[in-house]
Amino acid sequence: MRYSKHFQNRINCTDSDAVFNYLIETLKDTIHRWDYFVNWGKVFENVKDIEVSLNTMNYLIGKEDIEAEFSFLLRQQPAISVVIPILIGLRQNDFKILSDFSTIDFSYKQYSFVGRAIMTDDDVADVVEFARSVGLLDFLKNRKIKNLVDYVIGVEVGLDSNGRKNRSGTEMEDIVESFVVDICTRNGLEYIKQATAAKIKDKWGLRLVVDKSSRIIDFALYNKGKLYLVETNFYSVGGSKLKSTAGEYRTIHDFWKQNGYGFIWITDGMGWRATTLPLQETFNHIDYVLNLDMVAHKLLEDIVISTSIDVE
């Protein structure tokens, strides 16, 4: 870690060991914000795409001879079959079902729910069989719900929980970006989010040497001929992934420093408390490792604004 006077001025740390201890002591236990829980816009957008078909399917609620009625609907409007998977909480369109395991050769049957203009009798029979076998037709017949549109809103909220992992992955980027925007606005700098060699070339005319063509960098900042590359992540729990991540950033740092770029790793999360040694090894090896508290104390700004940093 490149120690400088900024660490003493900003966080009262007099050497690199003190900086590392500060980093560990000020790790955040969470960065979840309100938009982490449910992406309501996505929920209602997904429902709108199939709302007409769902309202058509409402016809089946409470019908006694529901298989015959469903067959009738499928022949009239075959496109409604595409909503069957979402009604059982799945986004896939194709299913391979084990139908017989009483013999050595297990038997399977394939079901497909794709939009089609015409359904054959066999197609109709397969869709009805699937809906009956998963319990969907009984669910509709017994009036367990009043409206499929409202029901699918609930299903979509549940499915959206799968998106929380992706949202948690971008939360750190979003928080860091708010600081980057402030730094650039006040100091007349520019930055690129999700930077690539091509984007950097287009914006600043700089040729970025990368270790692999697919490399995407969370942020790139440019100041007075110096290009800073910033990577961010947050780990709420420990594990082997953190050890490999720390090793990867040592390699990335060496590659980019050799090519004249500044590298700043911003990481946070209580997961590091259970994986301290790999983090400390990387901290001691690369120039800059910060957490969110340190960024909030303007250390990121100090690094990218200073054309040269005093080092002890």
The per-residue pLDDT for 310 is 41
Q: Which residues pair with 270 in a beta bridge?
A: none
Token code pair at residue 33: 């914000």
Strands (DSSP E) found in the chain? 94-100, 107-112, 190-195, 217-223, 226-234, 262-268, 288-290
The per-residue pLDDT for 139 is 96
CA distances to 19, 122, 177, 179, 241 from 31, rounded to whole Å, are: 22, 52, 14, 15, 20
Consecutive 10-residue averages of pLDDT for the chain (312 residues): 90 96 96 85 94 96 96 95 96 91 84 91 96 96 94 92 69 94 96 96 92 89 93 90 93 92 96 94 96 97 73 38
Q: Which residues pair with 191 in a beta bridge?
A: 221
- Structural domains for the chain: 5-30+189-305 (3.40.1350), 40-162 (no CATH)
Do the Cβ atoms of 254 and 220 come closer than 8 Å? Answer: no
Do the Cβ atoms of 201 and 208 come closer than 8 Å? Answer: yes
Helix (H, G, I), strand (E, B) or coil at 84: helix
- Token look-up 């120690």 returns 3
User: Within a 13 Å sphere around the CA of 215, how many CA atoms are in the beta-carbon half?
Assistant: 19
Chain mean pLDDT for the chain: 92
The per-residue pLDDT for 311 is 38
Using CA atoms, how far apart are residues 75 and 117, in angstroms rounded to an integer?
Answer: 10
Residue 96 CB neighbours (<10 A): 9
The per-residue pLDDT for 204 is 95
The answer to whether the predicted template modeling score (pTM) of the entire model surpasses 0.85 is no
Burial of 288: CB neighbours in 10 Å, binned 0-12, 13-18, 19+: buried
Contacts of 112 (CB under 8 A, 6+ apart): 93, 94, 95
Amino acid at 234: F
User: Within a 13 Å sphere around the CA of 237, how many CA atoms are in the beta-carbon half?
Assistant: 3
Burial of 298: CB neighbours in 10 Å, binned 0-12, 13-18, 19+: middle
Residue 191 CB neighbours (<10 A): 19
